[in-house]
Amino acid sequence: MAKIEVIQTVDTSNFKAANAEELKKQIVHYFAEKGCPPTVEIISDNTVKIIFDTENLEYAERNFQKASLACSEGRFNAAMDLLHKAIKACPGYSEAHRLLGQVFYQQGEIEKGMNEVLEALLIDPKNMWALILMGNILANGKNNADAADKYYKKVLEYYPDNAIALNNVAGTLIRKKDYDSAIHYMKQALELDNTYTNSYYGIALAYYHKDDLDNAFEYASQGALKGANRAEDPGVRQELLKLLLTIARDIAESTDYESKVFEFAHSLETKYNVTIKFERDDEQDTLAHLEFADFHHSKDHVVKYKKDGNYCHYMLHELTHLEMMLSAQRNGKLQTIGFTQKNFDAFLLDYKRHFDEVKKKIGAIQSEKLAKHLFQGLSLQVMNAPLDLFVEQKIYEKAEFRPLQLTSLFAMESSNIDAV
C-alpha cells in the first residue's frame, strides 16, 4: 500500500480541543484529502506525524472520474457501482456522496438521493454542488420551494459570485411567481457567465409568464445563439428552443404582419422612386414571387402572392430580393444571369449515360422534357440558394420580423424533412 509520511509543525491554538485525543481527531479531519483520513501521531505539543494512504485516495479518485463520465453518457447503474467503490475507499468523499445522490434522484429514488446529499453536506457543509442539488430535490422532487430556498441562499452566502447559484435561486422565485426578482437574479448570472443557457431560458420563461413577448423572444433568441450545452443539464437547450418557437408563434399570431410588409414596400417606393403593386393569386404554386419591372417590360414591380400559410414572410422575402436589385441597379452593378442552349447541351453531355437509360424507359420526347426540367430546377437552385441566404440575413436584421421569419423557416424545414 502506497503511503506518504509527513512530519508537520502544527499551531495547536487553531484547534479547539479539550484533550490530545480530540486534537488528534480534529487534525485528522483537517488534513483529510477527498474524505480519505490520514493516520496522525502526535509527537510533541506542536509537531505531528501524518501518514497519507495515497493508494486509496487515487483509487477513489479514479472511480469518481469514471462515474462522472458514466453519468454524462446516461449509464447510471455503472456510475452507481463506481461511486460505491469510491466511497468504500474514502468514506468521507463528499463529492462522491453528492454524485451518488444525484444518480439516485435521476433514477427516481428521491429519499435515497436526499440521504446521500445530506451525507455529503455533513462531511462538507459548503459543498456548493450538494447544496444546489438538495435545493433542486426539495423544489422539484418534494415540491417544497421554501425549504429549497434555504439551501440556495446558503449557496449565495458562500459563493455570491456563482452563476449557477444565482440561477437556482431564481428558479424557486419563478415557481413562486415572483418573476421580477427571478429576472433580476438571472440577469446577474448572465453578467457572470453569458453562455449559461439556463439563465437565458429562465429569463425568457419569466417574461413569457409576464406576457412580455418581445423581451421573452429576445432572451430566448440570445440563448439559442450564445448558450452552451452543459453536462449537468443537457436537456435545457432543447427546452429553450421549444420555448423560443412557442413565443415566436404567439407573436406571429397576434401581429398584423401583412400591414408591416406593405409598410416596408412603401419605404422602398419612397427610397428608390418606384411603384410596387401586390396582386393576390391563390392559384399560383408558390406563396409569393416577384416580377421585376425591367425584366417584364413594365413600369411597375409586382409581387404576386397566395394568401396561405406564412405568405407574409414569402412576400417579405421577395421584397428583400427587390431591395437588393434596386440597390445594385442604382450603383450600376445589376447583372442578369441566364442559361443558354450551350449550357443545356453541356448538361446533357455530362449526364449522357443516365439520360440514355431514361430514354429507353420513357422515350426520347419525355426524356428531353425531364432533362430540361432538371436543368432548369438545378440552375435556379445554384443561383438562388446563395442569394436567399443573404436575403434571409437582411430580413433577420429587421428585428420586428424575426418571429415571423423563425416560424416560417421552421415550417419550411419541417415540410422538407417530412417530404424526405
Q: Is-contact 282 307, C-beta < 8 A?
A: yes
Burial call 257-295: b when 16+ CB within 10 Å, e when fewer: beebbbebbeebeeebebebeeeeeeeeeebbbbbbbee
Q: Is-contact 318 289, C-beta < 8 A?
A: yes
- Residue 87 CA to residue 103 CA, distance in Å, equals 14
**pLDDT on residue 1:** 46
Q: What is the pTM of this model?
A: 0.71
> Residue 39: helix, strand or coil by DSSP?
strand
| Per-residue pLDDT tens digits of the chain, which is 420 residues long | 455 454 556 566 666 767 777 776 776 666 665 566 666 677 776 777 777 667 878 888 899 999 999 988 889 999 999 999 999 988 888 899 999 999 999 999 999 999 999 999 988 888 999 998 999 899 889 989 889 889 988 988 998 888 888 988 888 889 889 999 999 999 999 999 999 999 999 999 999 999 999 999 999 999 999 998 876 677 899 999 999 999 999 999 999 999 999 999 999 999 999 999 999 999 998 999 999 999 999 999 999 999 998 999 999 999 999 999 999 999 999 988 888 889 999 999 999 999 899 989 999 899 889 999 999 888 888 888 899 999 999 999 999 999 999 999 999 998 877 765
Secondary element (H or E) of residue 53 = strand 47-53
- Residue 62 CA to residue 214 CA, distance in Å, equals 48
- Residue 9 CA to residue 48 CA, distance in Å, equals 6
**pLDDT on residue 229:** 82
Q: Per DSSP, what are the bridge partners of residue 8?
A: 48
- Residue 101 CA to residue 361 CA, distance in Å, equals 67
- Report which of 70, 135, 64 is spatially closest to residue 96, judged by C-alpha positions: 64
In the DSSP assignment, the letter for residue 308 is: S
Task: Say if strands 3-9 and 47-53 run parallel, antiparallel, or are unpaired.
Answer: antiparallel
Q: Could you give the strand order of the β-sheet that contains 276-280, starting from the edge strand earlier in sequence?
A: 276-280, 301-305, 288-291
> Residue 292: helix, strand or coil by DSSP?
coil
Alpha helices in 73-195 (DSSP H): 76-89, 94-106, 110-123, 128-136, 145-158, 163-175, 179-192
Helix axes 236-254, 402-419, angle to 10 degrees: 110
Q: Per DSSP, what are the bridge partners of residue 48?
A: 8, 42
Secondary element (H or E) of residue 280 = strand 276-280
Give the cell for residue 313.
414572410
Torsion of CA 28, 30, 33, 38, to 10 degrees: -20
**pLDDT on residue 26:** 72
Other CB atoms within 10 A of residue 54 CB? 15
Measured at the CA of 102, the angle between CA 97 and CA 104, to 5 degrees, comes to 95
Sign of CA dihedral 317, 323, 324, 325: positive
Q: Per DSSP, what are the bridge partners of residue 291?
A: 302
194: Cβ contacts below 8 Å, ≥ 6 apart? 226
Task: Report the number of secondary-structure helices (H) and strands (E) in the chain.
Answer: 18, 6
Mind listing the domains of the chain with CATH numbers?
A: 1-124 (1.25.40.10), 126-254 (1.25.40.10), 257-419 (no CATH)
